[in-house]
A and B are shown apart, each in its own frame.
Chain A
Amino acid sequence: MQKVIVENRIRQSRQDRIFDAINLALMILLLFIFIWPLWFVLIASFSDPMRVLNGEVLIWPVSFNLSAYKELIRRGDIWLSYLNSIFYTVAGTALNMVFTVCAAYPLSRKNFVIRNFVMTFFLITMYFSGGLIPLYVLLRGLHLIDSRLCLILGGAISVYNMLIVRNYFMNSIPNALREASMLDGANSAQDLIHVVLPLSKPVLAVVTLYYAVGHWNDYYSALVYITSPEKYPLQLVLRDILSNVTVSSESASTIEEKVRLAQTLKYSSIIAAMIPVLMLYPVIQKHFVKGVMIGAVKG
């Protein structure tokens, strides 16, 4: 309010008007750059693939049809991988959250005797790791290669996310509240369940989202550790479709038809992969800024 009054009372200089005009143009350009690629994939998925290939589709769908989605529904391997991805995401995120809270809560207590030691123990892993092959050899020793469990256990805790939660526990929950419950005789379990967790819903939501998106989008661990196609997550199947490795469709009769269907499938499968993330996005978007800011507080 105050801002508006001051800005209006003093007439803007010519330089400022030019600045505003350039700024407005820049923002509109950026808006276009952010939206158009996503919009293009969407309209391409509803257009005739041959006309997309000819560069006729730019702003609006051309010869609207649903063949891309019909082909998507026919592909059993995509649906299986979709279910796999849902499983990895749900199970993986659940384990992540349990581990994260289990580590963050003790570390948020100032009188936890081994706090500094454990913090250092965790922090080192952020900057130093064994690397690809040593981890692979270890997982093979544990018989976790090509096992669904491997994708869930693989990254069961992210130290960075744990620190976000810990910082929130320490800085954003009024100390008086916790002291009051302690005076009333609450033990650690009661403090955690009745005071800390209910007050930390925003940060828990953000971190859950981070983990879930991480699992949903993960392709590297599956590429390295999973060999049986029936265990592939969506991203790995998606890569095959997008890089044209599989041009097989029983419904196609000619080679041209095969190319056409392989091409259509690219657009519709991208849309299918983005839907869950984009659906969650508006719901949880308002918590983002908070999450990033809590993470920025030094550990």
Chain B
Amino acid sequence: MQKAIKNKSFWARLKLDVVNNPLLYIMIAPVIGYVALFCYGPMYGIVLAFLNYRIKDGIFGSEWVGFANFERFIRSFNFLKLMENTLAISVLSLIVGFFVPIGFALMLNYVTSRQLKKTVQMVSYAPHFISVVVICGMLQIIFASNGPVNAVIMLLGFDKIDFLAEASMFRPLYVGSGVWQGMGWSSIIYISALSGVDYQIHEAAIIDGATKLQRIRHIDIPSIKSTIIMLLILAIGGLMGVGFDKAYLLQNDLNLETSEVLSTYVYKMGMIKSDYSFSTAVGLFNTVINLILIVSANYISKKLADESLF
């Protein structure tokens, strides 16, 4: 019976399944329709990047310019600056934002008081649920030139720092607030992985006289290695995707030098200057680099560690 079904052609099996389980198809049809329209529909709009698009001409009436928009972007005076800013923020966020949660999970695992462990854990998740607008508002209040942080700095006898207007302070603020917001949440997965480690291994190590640092190094880290690699691939894939929201909200004329990233540039060129074709080209450039990054990260990890996403 099973074999008979398997031998039939795809269309015959599909027909049989639709007749037997019509509900499944009725359920998923609207979702497929939605994804086709709202996720694949815009992909067609990518042709805008190769046109000199004007609203009154429409897509079909606009002039085909090939790669001219990409050339214009790569030759533009701020291309290198944009790439540098985007990469600097994302590499910093990746390094700090990726390893801090691992360290946090490893240390939390050795907290002796259960009560403290639970409290720290619960409190550390909370910032994950705060909106970007509120985070940026809080940064602007707390790091204001006469805000509480500067009050403490001056109390200690140092000169106050204008965190928000200083271009060199944008990256630390961006990355630091990202870590504050994300470390608890990102650590959840490592904490669960660590709690799954067989305690007998630890017992054996304790009896052999291993210190806690040695146990972290020789038991904990090897046992969460595969989790770390998986998440690292994911993180590398998102390398060029510096979020629009936070960069845009923390941006001002004084720190533009370091705060202008690809996503804010795409927004400004597209929505404010209405240069649709150029903005689409810059966005596409960003997406393609991302795609290359994730595919190569996946490939490398498959070769080196035998772990992959797809």
Contact = CB atoms under 8 A, between A and B. Distances in A.
B14 A220 contact: no
B42 A57 contact: no
Interface stretch (B43-51, B70-78, B85-93, B165-173): B43-51
Contacts of A122: 35
Contact of B42 (A129, A189, A242): A129
Nearest to B213: A19
A30 B271 CA distance: 40
Interface size for chain A: under 10, 10 to 19, 20 to 34, or 35 or more residues? 35 or more
Contact of B131 (A99, A130, A243, A273): A273
Contact of B180 (A34, A131, A136, A153): A34
Contacts of B286: 131
A298 B40 CA distance: 24
Interface stretch (A106-114, A195-203, A253-261): A106-114
Given A19-B213, A34-B184, A242 B270 contact: no
A24 to B, nearest CB: 7
A205 interface: no
B216 to A, nearest CB: 9
B4 interface: no
B213 A128 contact: no
A112 B276 contact: no
B27 A106 contact: yes
Interface string B283-303: 110110011001000000000
A13 B211 contact: yes
Given A34-B127, A137-B48, A7 B137 contact: no
B45 A133 contact: yes
Contact of B276 (A23, A24, A137): A137
A266 B150 contact: no
A149 B283 CA distance: 25
B46 A130 contact: yes
Contact of B119 (A31, A267, A274): A31
B244 A220 contact: yes
Contacts of B192: 289, 292-293
A236 B286 CA distance: 26
B223 interface: no
A102 B28 contact: yes
24 contacts: A2-B199, A6-B206, A13-B209, A16-B211, A19-B110, A20-B212, A27-B120, A30-B104, A34-B124, A40-B142, A41-B141, A99-B31, A102-B30, A112-B17, A138-B45, A156-B38, A188-B21, A188-B23, A216-B131, A238-B133, A238-B137, A274-B130, A277-B130, A292-B189
